[in-house]
């Protein structure tokens, strides 16, 4: 694994020891960023199930200003910190050990708002839409934010729901990524359907 493009291009990234995490392959990462970027002009990125931190680090390397990395596992936290250091991006990042639900509450208290979110929960968890809805309710997303949901290809998520418009879906064997845009304005105007 390595940083594919941007300021930290070519820097190697460590994997988390053991087989509890499955890092996004360079091939999937490359096509993911060609869909959502490929480069950014500032903004805040949240890597919620960060694992190695590879997705958030790639976003910082490609121009995101600041990143918040969350993971439950001690081993992952150590690897993320080491990878940020190896990429020369430690001063643009905050790394926290927490579960996703609690992390969203803390981020809301800090009045954080994100332009890009990576959601790559363990495949046994099928709660991507709930997490996105919670981000909306806690005002954690800037208008027009991009959310990248990575999940097991056997599972299905809606193309669009509530304030999230599906932009693109891509399947890579066992892995599927679904890219959404956050459109909060859509709640004003128009009849409400009960």
pLDDT digit string, tens, across residues 65-82: 999 999 999 999 999 999
Q: Among the listed ranges 29-38, 55-64, 78-87, which one has the minimum average pLDDT value?
A: 29-38
Closest by Cα among 142, 121, 127, 146 to 40: 146
How would you classify the pairing of strands 164-172 and 175-182? antiparallel
- In the chain, pLDDT over 90 holds for what percent of residues? 78
Q: Is the pLDDT of residue 190 over 50?
A: no
Examine residue 161 and state whether it is found in any structural domain, yes or no: no
152-189 confidence digits (pLDDT tens):
999 999 999 989 999 999 999 999 999 999 998 754 44
Q: What pairs with residue 3 in β-bridges?
A: none
Examine residue 108 and state whether it is found in any structural domain, yes or no: yes
Closest by Cα among 28, 31, 86, 37 to 57: 86
Tell me the residue range of the domain where 92 lies. Answer: 26-155+166-185
120-146 confidence digits (pLDDT tens):
988 788 999 999 999 999 999 999 999
Examine residue 179 and state whether it is found in any structural domain, yes or no: yes
Token output for 70:
């969350």
**CA of residue 136 relative to chain centroid, distance:** 15
Examine residue 17 and state whether it is found in any structural domain, yes or no: no
Examine residue 9 and state whether it is found in any structural domain, yes or no: no
Examine residue 16 and state whether it is found in any structural domain, yes or no: no
What CATH number does the domain containing 171 carry?
Answer: 3.40.50.150
Number of domains in the chain: 1
């Amino acid at each position: 694994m390595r940083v594919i493009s941007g300021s930290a291009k070519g820097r190697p990234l460590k994997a988390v020891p053991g087989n509890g995490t499955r890092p996004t392959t360079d091939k999937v990462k490359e096509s993911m960023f060609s869909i959502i970027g490929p480069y950014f002009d500032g903004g805040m990125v949240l890597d919620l199930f960060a694992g190695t931190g590879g997705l958030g680090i790639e976003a910082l390397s490609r121009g995101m200003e600041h990143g918040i990395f969350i993971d439950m596992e001690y081993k992952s936290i150590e690897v993320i910190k080491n990878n940020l250091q190896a990429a020369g991006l430690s001063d643009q990042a905050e790394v926290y050990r927490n579960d996703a639900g609690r992390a969203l509450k803390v981020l809301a208290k800090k009045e954080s708002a994100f332009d890009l979110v990576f959601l790559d929960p363990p495949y046994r968890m099928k709660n991507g839409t709930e997490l996105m809805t919670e981000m909306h309710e806690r005002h954690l997303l800037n208008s027009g934010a991009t959310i990248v949901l990575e999940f097991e290809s056997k599972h299905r998520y809606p193309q669009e729901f509530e304030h999230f418009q599906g932009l693109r879906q891509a399947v890579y064997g066992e892995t599927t990524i679904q890219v959404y845009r956050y459109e909060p304005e859509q709640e004003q105007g128009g009849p409400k359907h009960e």
